[in-house]
Amino acid sequence: MADPASVTTDAKRRHDPDLRGFASDNYAGAHPEILAALAVANGGHQIAYGEDAYTEHLQRVVGSHFGQTAQAFPVFNGTGANVVALQSVTDRWGAVICADTAHIHRDECGAPERVGGLKLLTVPTPDGKLTPDLIDREAFGWDDEHRAMPQVVSITQSTELGTVYTPDEVRAICEHAHQHGMLVHLDGSRLANAAASVDRPMRAFTNAAGVDILSLGGTKNGMVFGEAVIVINPDAVRAMKHVRKLSMQLPSKMRFVSVQLEALLAGDLWLRNARHANTMARRLADGVRGIDGVEIVHPVEANAVFATLPHDVSERLQKRYRFYFWDEATGLVRWMCSFDTTEADVDSFAAAVAEEMGKR
């Protein structure tokens, strides 16, 4: 057996804890309160596959946010949450209407279609947000056997472009979808950031607005791993337990996902983390906005900053800080802030942007 001290030493050699970047909120570590909760849950034996005390208590916590009929189904990751959620509310011939920038379309390797067996009907949007009018571009042909049947509208909050739906906008979408006999799924991997952005509770965008099923994020907001499917409208969902297992998203040691979600949601940790990440994104946008040659492309409403700058400048910056091109052809990049991003991190990066731009 390896000496714990040597393992710790080896880990320090592999990982520089002072290294910072702006590539993704998934790059951040875990919040100390989350790690403490994991340690509490670690002792002794608990029943596997969700019959543990932590998963049971999580249901009460989730009910306080999303209504007393809401039920949480912890899963391993965000793609899994989306696939499980969408499978549970569609038929074999069903289709899902979503924005063309949606994560389920652009960033999940075809999992909703190949694993979930459903069809995505994508709609171009200027800001990542659907509207009733945009939905109507694909909301037709329910009796046409040659066309996949639109059964669900999926929206992302906050969107992949860092914009945020207001509660009224979500409510209008839900009312419109329900009038057509469709359900509404919300991909909430950054739902906490959206709530913090407009200073409204998460319920304002979900059960209070008419959302039927929710993919709730945790990893991007301070957890080690894990997300959850939240069934808000139980009448709309079929065989969730079986779909989760079929989709390989049933954690055997579920207490370790549930206790993290409990630690995040039972108090205000979810809000503190999201609010801080959003504040750092605004600070970053303000710090680079006045640099000649840098343009902020989308409103900074959550924890993402989208900007265009010369391609060669971005390539030099990437050697100093990790971040991704969103569209290399146009020079569009995305900078993400996390719960542990500091003011010093932001200011140093903004200074580096100014320095590299100055070299031109």
Both tokens of 38, joined, read 């994991």
Cα radius of gyration rounded to whole Å, the chain: 21
Averaged pLDDT for residues 61-66: 98
Residues 199 and 311 in one domain: no
Integer Cα distance of 14 and 29 in angstroms:
15
Q: What's the number of domains the chain is made of? A: 2
Is residue 52 domain-resident? yes
Averaged pLDDT for residues 143-168: 97
Q: Kindly report, residue by residue over 71-94, the tens digit of the pLDDT.
A: 999 999 999 999 999 999 999 999
> Which pLDDT score is estimated for 17?
83
Residues 251 and 309 in one domain: no
**Complete edge-to-edge strand list for the sheet that includes strand 304-308:** 295-296, 304-308, 332-336, 324-327
> Which pLDDT score is estimated for 8?
57
Is residue 310 domain-resident? yes
Confidence of residue 228 (pLDDT cuts 50, 70, 90): very high
> Which pLDDT score is estimated for 16?
84
**Domain range holding 336?**
19-29+269-358
Residues 59 and 171 in one domain: yes
Is residue 1 domain-resident? no
Averaged pLDDT for residues 312-317: 95
Give the CATH number, domain containing residue 230.
3.40.640.10
Is residue 36 domain-resident? yes
Both tokens of 108, joined, read 């999940």
Q: Kindly report, residue by residue over 320-351, the tens digit of the pLDDT.
A: 999 999 999 999 999 999 999 999 999 999 99
Helices assigned H by DSSP within the chain:
4-14, 32-41, 53-66, 78-87, 103-106, 111-114, 132-135, 167-179, 191-198, 240-246, 255-265, 269-289, 311-318, 343-358
HSE-up (13 A, CA, CB side) for residue 144: 10
Is residue 10 domain-resident? no
60-202-206-300 Cα dihedral, nearest 10 degrees: -150
Q: In terms of pLDDT, which residue wins out, 10 or 210?
A: 210
Give the CATH number, domain containing residue 311.
3.90.1150.10
Residues 312 and 347 in one domain: yes
Residues 215 and 273 in one domain: no
Q: Kindly report, residue by residue over 171-193, the tens digit of the pLDDT.
A: 999 999 999 999 999 999 999 99
Peptide bond into 158 cis (omega under 30): yes
Residues 261 and 287 in one domain: no
Is residue 344 domain-resident? yes
Of 236, 265, 294, the residue at which a domain comes to its end is 265
Q: Kindly report, residue by residue over 263-285, the tens digit of the pLDDT.
A: 999 999 999 999 999 999 999 99
Residues 250 and 325 in one domain: no
Averaged pLDDT for residues 214-235: 97
DSSP 127-181: SS---HHHHTTT---TT-TTSPEEEEEEEESS-TTS----HHHHHHHHHHHHHTT
Q: b/e per residue, 238-253, with b = 16+ CB within 10 A?
A: eebeebbeebebbbee
Is residue 228 domain-resident? yes
Integer Cα distance of 146 and 23 in angstroms:
42
Of 265, 283, 315, the residue at which a domain comes to its end is 265
Residues 239 and 293 in one domain: no
- Is the pLDDT confidence value at 1 over 90? no
Question: Which DSSP symbol is given to 76?
Answer: S
Of 248, 265, 282, the residue at which a domain comes to its end is 265
> Which pLDDT score is estimated for 193?
98
- Is the pLDDT confidence value at 359 over 90? no
Residues 239 and 273 in one domain: no
Residues 125 and 81 in one domain: yes
Residues 225 and 96 in one domain: yes
Is residue 324 domain-resident? yes
Residues 162 and 305 in one domain: no
